Every structure is written in C-alpha cells, then in structure tokens.
Structure 1
Amino acid sequence: MHKPLIYNILIASVLFMSCGDQAENPMNEQTITAEEILADPINYPAISYSGYREITRDSVPTIPELKEDMRILSAIGIKIIRTYNVYLEAVPRLLKAISEMKEEDPDFEMYVMMGAWIDAKNAWTDEPERIRDEDSPRNSKEIERAANLAKEYPDVVKVIAVGNEAMVHWQTEYWVEPGIILRWVNHLQNLKDEGELPESLWITSSDNFASWGGGGSEYHKEDLNKLIKAVDYISMHTYPMHDTHYNPDFWGVREDETELSDMEKIEAAMQRSLEYSVSQYQGVVDYMKSQGVDKQVHIGETGWATVSNGYYGDEGSRATDEFKSARYYELIREWSEENGVSVFYFEAFDEKWKDATNQLGSENHFGLINLQSEAKYMLWDEVESGVFDGLTRDGKPITKTFNGDLDALMETVKVPPTDAEIQAKQEQE
C-alpha cells in the first residue's frame, strides 16, 4: 500500500536589497526563484489547481474559498500551484488571496506557475476554419494581463506558461503553430530584459510531450527548435491513463501474467504506466539535447482520474478507480523526488464544469479531494494522521472517501483487460 506523502517544509531565507533600492523598484526584492523551486520537488511539491466548485466557471471562487483551498494544499506540503488562464477572475483573486495569507503569516509559502491561455484565430467561434498561424484577438490581452499580474505579485508568481496544450494537434478547437507561442515567449523575455518583469521570472509553455518533439516528426519544426531555445525550461505533459485507451501497448495483462494474483496484475500494469510516462519525458529530453540545448525539463501535467463511464471505466480500459489513481500518484511522486523533476500533479480538487453534461466523465474526477470534501485514497493516511484537523472546504471537514472502508473501495477496483481483450476491442473500433 502507499505510504504518507508528507513533505518537509523548507523556509527560504529572504535576502533584501537596500531600502532605497526597494523603494525605487520592489522587484529588486530577492526571493526564492523558479529555478530553485522546480529543481527541489521534495521540499516544493507541485499541483495543478483551479478551485471551481460549480457546473460553470461563471461562478468564480471567492477569496475566502481560495484561502480555504490554499490551507488544505499547504497542509499536505504543496508549495507551488499551476493555473491556466487570467481572462477570468479566479487567478487574480487567487494571487490576492495568497498575498494576503503571506502578509498574515510570513512563514506561509505558496507560489504560482501562472498560465496565459492561447487560442488560434477563430477558436471557439462558428467560423468553419481555425487559422493556426494567427492569434485569437484575445491572446494579446491575455499576455498583457499575465505580465501585469506577474509584476504586481513578484513574490508569488514564479513562472508564466504561454498556452496550455496549445500546440498539440489533437486539441482541434484551438491549437496553434509553435511560431505563435514563440512570439509571445520572446515578448515576455524582452520585458524581462527591459526590466519590466523580474529577471528571475521563468517563461515556458506547458504542452503535450509530442509538441515538445518527443513524439512524431510532424512536430519537428524550426519554430519549435527556436522555442526550445527561448524558454527558460520545458514543461511537458504525460497521461498514461488516457493512453490505456488510445495507445494501450503498455496496459493490460500480459500472456505471461495470467497466473498472477489480481493485485499483482494491477501492480504490473501500474509499473508499466510509470515507465510509459518516464519514456515520454525522456523523449522530450532527448529531442531537446538533439538541438544542442541542455536545460531543466519538468512535468507540467500528469494525473489519473478515479471515475469514468467512458473509455477508461469498467466498460473500457478499466483504468479508473481510487486504488490505481493512488498508486500512480505514489509512483510518479517517488520518481519525481528521486530524479529532481518537478511534477504538477493534475489536480488538487475535483471539478464538475469540465464535462458539465456528463458528471461521470473522467475530466470531472482527477482531484485528490472530491466535491464532498472527501480525501481520496492517496490521502487517507494524511486524514488519519490529522494534517487536515481544523480545516474545512465549503464548511465540511476533510474526511475519507468510502467512509474509510478499504474493502468497499477495493470492490470498485477492476483488473485491466488481457492483451487479447484489448486487441479484440481495437479491431471492433
């Protein structure tokens, strides 16, 4: 079984410039940098965060709700969170909430990898064509607001990520050519050079492993090579859970595993899932080095949903349940710590707006904590040890899913299909 993932807190020493220099330019304040945070996943574990409670993002979390979430995440050792856009009010409110919490408690630490959303021209419209090498009119406003927020909260915002899966081709609604991302990355780097943004602020884009050159040659474009040189580090995504359906070569029960116990079959599949993620990470590293570049590469997203009535559930690849999710969480965190690679695990809390018309869709169930304020299996030990004592979410204390009944949880756990079953299903499709 998994062991508690309680992380030691490293309180960074804060070095100040002279009082006169601070008065002239508060960005001269020297604090821990993104470079240091991302290279130290033991003391600065990371997670993706939105915090929406309702079925639509029109209902934006309040500052008290955001503070509530930050206390919960801090209780399990999280020190840096990743957000996705600034055109909605959730992130400006979040930055304000964190800033206020730091003022109230100088020992409180929470930093932000702030996303700036990027779309192709005509994305999310009725226009028949998405123009991949042109910006949506909103992109410039998104970048401007992100820059302004980074300037306003230099002690909180440590990274700006230009785009989220904005270059991967299966994002058919909005993907752009890498030249679009490159232009905005260069723009933000120029603002740093001009002193308009903190010099230590890191700029990247957070995208699928294939988009960073770790997949097919269709992504190996000159603008991508330039982008690799332009970013301060690479933030890549890997999702073996999704590929239990789309590319299940690593999944299932091998012919030589049929005599194993059910738990041994599951463990073998989960170990291969980790290996699959690591191979995608290594593919990005290898491509980066083939371009003569050697810089940090971190995982900007990976995760494992606990519910699916679709491709990943009992009628599909049988991947989604709390036991497998907890096992992947443990495996990827252990690998992260052993290799000094930051992993922004997806995600902190379940959200129901992502698949609003299908509440059992997997996209709604990636959180460590569900919408009933119940900690899923990967956090049961933390509940037991009392790290959530005195904390609530939406007025509810943090308790265990399944009322802490492991036998009831295990009844939901299915053994992955055999290789033969997977092949037969692929042939049917």
Structure 2
Amino acid sequence: MFDYGKAVCYSGYREGQSPIRHVYPTYEEISEDLLILDKYFDYIRLYDGSQHAQTVLKVIKDHNLKLKVMLGVEPGGEISNPNCPWGGLHTEEEIEFNKVNNYKKLDHIAALANEFKDQVLAVSVGNECTSDWHPGLMDPLTVAKHVKYVKSLISHPVTFCEGAYYWMTKGKPIAEEVDFISIHSYPLWQKVNIDKALQMNIKDFEDNLRTYPNKDIIFTEFGWATMSNEQMDSTQTNEENQKEYLNQVEKWAEENKITMFIFEAFDEPWKGSTNPIEPEKHWGILNVNRSPKKWFSSKLKK
C-alpha cells in the first residue's frame, strides 16, 4: 500500500474531444493540465489504457513531475444487463469477444505499468462494473480472477473501484484478492445535502471497514458537481457548496490519513446527454477552459 496523498481523477478531454470518438487531448494540452495539477496533488487516477493514458505517463516522465498514476481498465461486459438502458444488452458473440479482449486489456495495462514503473502508483482492473446498472456488467468472481492475473504480471498494488454499497453487497470475492479496497461515495447522487454530506462519506468508509477489517480502504471517487438538471437538487450544485464540501472532506482525510481521489480535475463537455447542465459535465474543480473553480482557486493562492 502507498502513503497518504492528495489525489484527483484526471480525464483531459476538452471541447470537441471524446474517448468515444477517439479524439484525444494533445501532448501539449496534457502537459498544460498536469503542470497545473502537479502544484497541489500527489496522485492522479486514469480510467483506461488508451492513447490518453499513454500520453499522460510520457508527460509525467518527460517533465519529471511528482505525480504518480493509478492506471485503470474499462472491461467489456461479460453479462448482458437488461437493467441498463444505455448499451447493457450484449449478444453471445459480443460476450465471448469481450472475455478474450478483456485479458488483452489487462496485458496492455500491465505492460504500461511495467514500462512506466516509477510513474505508476497502482492499477485498477475495473470501474463500477459489478453495479447492477452498468453497461459493462461483470461477475465479481471474474473480477477477482482479473485482479489475481494482473498481480502476477506487475509489482504494483492492484485494486478494483466500485461504489461503497456494491463493495458490501457483491465485493467479498474481490476483496480477497485486491491489495486494497477502493470505494466511491457521492452524497449528491443519494440526495444528501451539504450539511450531511461528509457524514455520509464517513459512514460509507466505516461500513466497509467493518465489512473488511483487514483491508486498507481508500476513496477513488467522491466529489461535488457545480451544475445540474433535474437529476439532482440544483440548489445544492454550485461552486460555493463544492468549496465547503471539499474543505470538510479534505480536513477529515488529512486527519485520518485516508487517500481520497476527488472526482474530478476538469469539467468534461463530452459526458452525459446533450443537455448543457447535465451534472456529468460539471464535476470538475476546474472549468473546461482550465480556469479554477472556487475551491481549487483558494488552494492555488496558498
């Protein structure tokens, strides 16, 4: 397990860019981003092994930045999921393809971890893909096998990132294999207001700690959106509340030496629906034009 550090999830897609369309940020754009983040953070988290991730690792190495990277894999679904209205259904042929291709993705991410050994902090074999709403649904037993496989290929710690609730309900076979548990906790999605938000995060942590008392636990996602449509209480989603919430959580994390990855570094306009106030587009601590929002602005001034 690694030492406590300040951490943030990073995805550098700007206006007109999208991982879906394979339009990636340039080396220069990623350099600009990471030079900003390196001023305050120790760790960043990535979600796949795409060109974006490879450029991030190269920039960190070339610029000799202190940032270390949690690499990730986005596996293709191995279970058809009728509970997911956006791409959860898979044919038998697609499932068989994904089963083989997922191991290719694991091989690729392990190769990156070994190539950039000094820049990599840890590797996650998936993101929320045991959740019953996920389009790329995976059996927890399969995820556990993936963890074990990657651990055989690299010397870095290996984890799996999932919501706090699903770790407790589905995560036991995975917990037996991971080096540490990585939970996600979002008060806004649970309709919890700013005055009780930190308490929800603490409860999620303590509930998982009771379930897995012999495991280190970190947060690989938590955050506060600054704009939303009807999916959330729009009176809660603003920069003032983001600043208050992140200050509260950061204080608790520092006191307890629990690494927590803020979701996320920059707003991402490609995400979610075409609605410009879709909350998925507005979790950043910086705007898409790279200007800092209130919380991060206050940190950069110190």
TM-score of the aligned structures, taking structure 1 as reference length? 0.64
Question: Is 1:66 aligned to residue 30 of structure 2?
Answer: yes
CA shift, 1:383, in A, is 5.0
Change over 3 Å in CA distance of 1:96–1:380 after alignment to 2? closer
CA–CA separation in structure 1 for the residues paired with 2:150 and 2:290: 38
Q: Is the 8 A contact 2:57 2:116 kept in 1?
A: yes
2:149 maps to 1:187: yes
- What does 1:139-288 align with in structure 2 at a 5 Å threshold? 139-171=102-134, 173-191=135-153, 197-198=154-155, 201-213=156-168, 219-220=169-170, 224-244=171-191, 251=192, 269-288=193-212
Aligned-pair distance for 1:133? 11
Q: Distance in 1 between matches of 2:88 and 2:210?
A: 38
1:360 equivalenced with 2:277 (yes/no): yes
- Cα pair 1:209 1:284 within 8 Å, conserved: yes
Distance 1:137 1:365 in 2: 35
* Kept after mapping to 1: 8 A contact 2:88/2:136: no
Question: Which amino acid in the other structure matches residue 61 of structure 2?
Answer: S
Could you tell me the percent identity over the aligned residues?
28
Paired with 1:339 and 1:111, the residues of 2 have a C-alpha distance of 21
- 1:285/1:59 Cα in 2 relative to 1: closer, same or farther (>3 Å)? same
8 A Cα contact 1:122 1:129, kept in partner: no
Tell me whether 1:304 sits opposite 2:248 in the alignment.
Answer: no
- The whole-number CA distance in structure 2 between the counterparts of 1:122 and 1:287 is 26
Instruction: Kindly provide the CA deviation profile for residues 74-116 of structure 1, in whole angstroms up to 9, marking residues without a partner as x.
Output: 12x2011000011x210011111111111xxxxx301000011
Show the 5 A alignment for 1:365-380. 365-380=282-297
Shift of residue 132 of structure 1? 8.8
Q: Select which of 95, 104, 112 maps to 2:69.
A: 112
Residues 143 and 68 (structure 1), Cα distance of their counterparts in 2 relative to 1, 3 Å cut: same
How many equivalent pairs are there? 293
Q: Deviations over 1:202-240 (max 9, x none)?
A: 000011111211xxxxx35xxx42321211000010000
Contact 1:130–1:174, Cα closer than 8 Å, also in 2: no
Aligned twin of 1:328? 245
Cα distance in 1, alignment partners of residues 163 and 10 from structure 2: 18
Counterpart pick for 1:351 among 263, 268, 275: 268
Offset at residue 126 of structure 1 (A): 6.3
Counterpart position of 1:427: none
Distance in 1 (CA, whole Å) between partners of 2:53 and 2:43 is: 14
Q: Which runs of 5+ in 1 are unaligned?
A: 1-34, 103-107, 192-196, 214-218, 245-250, 252-268, 386-429
Q: Paired residue for 2:83? A: none
Q: Residue 134 of structure 1 contacts residue 180 of structure 1 at CA under 8 Å; is this kept in 2?
A: no
Map residues 389-400 of structure 1 onto 2, 5 A cutoff.
none
Counterpart code for 1:320: T
Confirm or deny: 8 A CA contact 2:79 2:139 kept in the other structure: no
> Is the 8 Å Cα contact of residues 164 and 206 (structure 1) preserved in structure 2?
yes
- State how far apart, in whole Å, the 2-side matches of 1:281 and 1:60 are: 35
* Cα drift, residue 139 of structure 1: 1.0
Kept in 2, the 8 Å contact 1:47–1:82? The answer is yes
Runs of 5+ in structure 2 lacking a partner? 81-86
SS at match of 2:44: strand
